[in-house]
């Protein structure tokens, strides 16, 4: 069996174990409906907003060679926003004061700016490497 197949089956088995642990933890909650609503909302946001946006921007705004880099950056940025959004829009004070001790809005902007800078740097370096080399021997 090839190493890639072994890794793939191992990763799949680990994923199934983690899904089972997650389902067990949700079922163990006194009221799992809140978690299930959040999971359904995350699924709808991903399928209705994040995935189409990534595909559209990848197709419309970037040349064929840099499309994957931009799509990767959009997946990272979209995932960060989806994870942070419930913390930002939650009404009222958190039930535990230590649950949200940091300014998450500002930190999200900083991390998204870092994603933009790294993405731009990767695109610039890739284009710089692809440019034709000029001869310097004086011919």
Kindly give, in sequence order, each residue whose CB lies less than 8 Å from that of residue 37, ignoring residues fewer than 6 positions away. none
What distance in Å separates the CA atoms of residue 22 and residue 24, rounded to the nearest whole number?
5
Q: Can you tell me which residue has the tokens 């090839």?
A: 2
Residue 79 binned pLDDT confidence (cut-offs 50, 70, 90): confident
Is residue 108 over pLDDT 80? yes
Q: Give the Å distances, CA to CA, from 67 to 55, 60, 101, 132.
A: 9, 9, 37, 21
pLDDT of 100 above 70: no
Mean pLDDT over the full length of the chain: 83
Percentage of residues of the chain with pLDDT beyond 90: 27
The span from the CA of 74 to the CA of 55, in Å, is 9
């Amino acid at each position: 069996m090839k190493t890639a197949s072994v890794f793939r089956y191992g990763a799949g088995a680990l994923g199934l174990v983690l899904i089972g642990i997650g389902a067990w933890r949700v079922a163990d909650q006194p009221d799992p409906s809140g978690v299930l609503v959040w999971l359904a909302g995350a699924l709808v946001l991903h399928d209705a907003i994040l995935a189409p946006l990534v595909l559209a921007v990848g197709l419309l705004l970037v040349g064929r060679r840099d499309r994957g880099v931009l799509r990767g950056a959009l997946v990272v940025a979209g995932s960060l926003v989806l994870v942070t959004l419930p913390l930002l829009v939650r009404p009222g004070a958190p039930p535990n004061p230590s649950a949200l001790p940091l300014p998450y809005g500002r930190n999200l902007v900083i991390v998204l700016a870092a994603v933009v800078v790294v993405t731009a740097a990767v695109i610039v370096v890739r284009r710089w490497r692809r440019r034709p080399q000029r001869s310097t021997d004086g011919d």
